[in-house]
A and B are shown apart, each in its own frame.
Chain A
Amino acid sequence: MRALALSVTGNRGVAIALAIVQWVARFIAVVLVIATFNFVLVHAAPGDPAQVMAGQSGAADEHMLAQLRAEYGLDKPYPVQLAIYLKRIVTLDLGYSYRQQRPVLSLIAERLPATLLLTCSAFLLSLGAGVLLGTLAGVRAGKWSDTALTIVSLLLYAMPVFWLGLMLVLLFSVKLDWLPAFGYVSIGVPMTPIEHVLDIAAHMVLPVTSLGAVLMAIYARLMRSAIIDVAHQDFIKTARAKGLRRGQIIVRHMLRNAVLPVVTVAGMQAGTLVGGSVVIETVFAWPGLGRLTFDSVMQRDYPLMLGIFLVMSVIVILLNFLTDTIYRMVDPRVSLRAAS
């Protein structure tokens, strides 16, 4: 408590500036370590991009391989390649994709919006629905509605996401013909802006539902246990004894405390969501970052792989920071502990 008092009464601006500088320095160091680690890891795996490309041509010779290796700097020793790579990162140049023959940064920038649209929608939907359903199940623990919700969430959790996606396609696209089976937007059809937005929305329904269903099951199960746990705490008994209404107790006292583990897990998952869901993006031919990652790994497209890994790492670091901040807002005890 004394430390907290000091930080409040001292020069708060300088303290904050110092904290930011420290954080940025740590951030840069972590990014460079990650970049080096990624580079070593990726190059440690067997596989030569030139041979992969040659393998898909049905014919190859030394001239072709030498040409490809020279073109992409693969003929240089690894330490030299690493030095070039790190130097480029500092100038925010992530290199040039062998396979796509375009700058890595523009490829990532091109795919990121589709992935964010898909994963953020699924994330928000699953978080909202998961917290709601988990709370309902938790406060009705042991009743039939709790059992039903538990079974459904267990089923969704256990279901392979590609299988769920394919089943939804079979039902809603093949049998009922209600929704498009895959893709991001209808191709070659002139549309007004409103039609365009609705068209994308229609394409989002199935992939978002498939991805969101699994996440929702995780949050619902987590929320349910947390609610049950909180319900037995002394302060809830006190609240009841004070004569507060049930709704007030749930919203004001139980929810706020029970949501902490969900925020932690959601924060961790938000990082992975940025990378996109390889499976969902593949099943639904969604032109996002997940599929780009998969393709780049299959093609041994080193600059693209490294670029994606780096961007994802940076976003995860930023999201962790964001999660910490939210955590402090939700639970004041965390900032007090941090300060002391």
Chain B
Amino acid sequence: MNRREFAKLSVAAGALGLSGIPLGITRAVGQTRGGTLNTIIQPEPPILVTALNQQQPTLTLGGKIYESLLRYDFDLKPLPGLAQSWEVSPDKLTYTFKLFPNITFHDGTPLTSEDVVFSIMKVLIENHARARSTFSRVDKAEAPDPLTVVFTLKKPFAPFLTAFDCTTAPIVPKHIYEGTDYRQNPANAKAIGSGPFKLKEWVHGSHVHLVRHEGYYRPNEPYLDEIIYRVIPDSASRSVALEQGTVQLTQWTDVELFEVPRLSKLPNLTMTTKGYEFFAPHTWLEFNNRIAPMNDKRFRQAVMYAIDRKALLNRIYFGLGKVATGPVSSKTKFYEKDVKKYDYSPDKAKALLDEMGLKPGPDGKRVAIPFLVPPYGETHQRTAEFLRQSLAKVGIDLQLQGIDVGGWAQRFGNWDFSTTTTTVYQFGDPALGVSRSYVSSNIRKGILFSNTSGYSNPEVDRLFEEAATATTDEKRQELYSQVQKIMVEEVPVAWLLEIDYPNFMDKRLKNVITTAIGVHETFGSVSFG
């Protein structure tokens, strides 16, 4: 007996003579006109307005509702988004965007250049930390006609054109937000954007239901009728949902990495790790450079030698990713591969520790170092265990301290830690996502994703600053190569891995991962077959 038969039987038994009434649960996933994509959102976002909240689930879901001027291919080259074309002045100070005609918000109001200027210069600068760091460099933003937007920068900022994806610069309707308290605006519950999907229903704790935006400006898009994001908090249940076909797409950490080998073998699914090029998640062991012995370069180098990062990649991350060679991910622009190598060598690690005077005691231990275990799931826990065992072999006693999310964020942000692991996104350009973790000007107590390690080198500061404002890619590459070589020698943090996250999807799905922001993209072109 299958579920359909069982359900029918239930109806017959429960409703006396009403057998045959089709139960909701007996119906196959809708396939009419493009069909319904069922997927997962976890944890449930607080709101869907990406201009006001940038937590990752908000961005994943909000990407279908709010669009921006550009998209980016896997090499991070810009593609048309709301803007069909763009021009950069020779002095790299003026950026002119031409919008597609006939773009409308979900309430039917046309989207114009006024909405773009308002969104970026008002709403985002006030509410979006990442956008603020880029758009605060804009001297003036103008809307000379309804389809033209012109940004003039105070001084050149090389990655400016990399900041127009829908997670960084979502466009919101000016007529709804202007003159209001953006965060308290009642329209936030309706999430009115211009993306291919609009909000139909949000049952908190259960699901978010998006349906086609009929007035979408791209011909034939969206192909899907609807997308249902289900809130499934337990990772084992998420795997079951995928296996069972209840959901047809998983992303980010929806499935635990140890499930990947098993799920990869399922005949109805396909898996790709593409679509994280923009974020380029970089995982490292962070040292508090203010405290001994982490303030000694030799200790940090010893740790690099003591960790078999290939084994970490293969055993804990199931081969999903690459060993990181330095501060810049190989997915990010201006990566330099010709840097000092730290191949696994416990002997070199021991020699460095000996040189420092950290001799092993009678129990073989040289030094005890506390480690805050990030409370973000099984993989982080396993990574911590792996690091503890690796470092124990060279006499470093890594003492794991369990902590919850609130405690971890507070202690890490306030420099109240010795070591921990963290994963930081690079956002396509070293000036957007790399320098922030290392420059002295970003040592800011209480701020996560700032220079929490306390590393400071004036030469590194200068090179990062010059590279951000250099006007040619050649010059930028030269400066970034230099800074990467210096930093890999100094090892402010122990770079571990460039992580790939698995996207599992139903084999019938097409065009799911088409850009460097992967599952955050609009999904207008996604279809079943």
Contact = CB atoms under 8 A, between A and B. Distances in A.
Contacts of A295: 43-44, 233
A100 B244 CA distance: 30
A103 B528 CA distance: 39
A51 B133 CA distance: 18
Interface string A81-113: 000000000000000001111100001001100
A110 B204 contact: yes
Nearest to A294: B233
Contacts of B133: 59, 61
B207 A187 contact: yes
Contacts of B23: 186, 191, 195, 198-199, 202
Given A100-B204, A179-B6, A52 B409 contact: yes
Interface string B225-259: 01010111110110011011010000000000000
Contacts, number: 222
Nearest to B231: A285
B407 A47 contact: yes
A156 to B, nearest CB: 20
A169 B411 CA distance: 39
Given A100-B204, A198-B14, A180 B406 contact: no
Where chain B touches its partner, the secondary structure class is: mixed
Contact of A188 (B36, B44, B188, B231): B36
A61 B132 contact: yes
Interface string B45-63: 0110000011110000000
A180 B25 contact: yes
A320 interface: no
A173 B240 contact: yes
Interface string B124-137: 00010110110000
Given A100-B46, A285-B233, A46 B411 contact: yes
Contact of A51 (B14, B47, B188, B448): B448
A114 B411 CA distance: 36
Contacts of A52: 405-406, 409
Contact size class for B? 35 or more
Given A185-B24, A199-B24, A287 B206 contact: yes
A244 B3 CA distance: 50
B457 interface: no
Contacts of A179: 3, 6
Contact of A292 (B55, B205, B230, B411): B205
B406 A198 contact: no
A297 B407 CA distance: 11
Contacts of A217: none
A300 interface: yes
Contact size class for A? 35 or more
B7 A174 contact: no
Nearest to A192: B21
Interface string A63-82: 11101000100000000000
A24 B38 CA distance: 50
Contacts of A45: 406-407
Contacts of A169: 237, 240
B55 A283 contact: no
B351 interface: no
Interface hub of A63, A195, A203 (most chain B Cβ within 10 A): A195
B233 to A, nearest CB: 5
B183 interface: yes
B453 to A, nearest CB: 16
B56 A58 contact: yes
Contact of A191 (B24, B207, B237): B24
Interface hub of A64, A177, A285, A291 (most chain B Cβ within 10 A): A285
Contact of B413 (A51, A195, A203): A51
B24 A182 contact: no
10 contacts: A49-B406, A55-B409, A58-B279, A61-B447, A114-B205, A169-B240, A176-B1, A188-B30, A188-B228, A190-B24
In order of increasing CB-CB distance, the 9 nearest A-B pairs are A47-B406, A287-B205, A186-B24, A189-B24, A300-B406, A56-B55, A59-B130, A57-B54, A178-B6
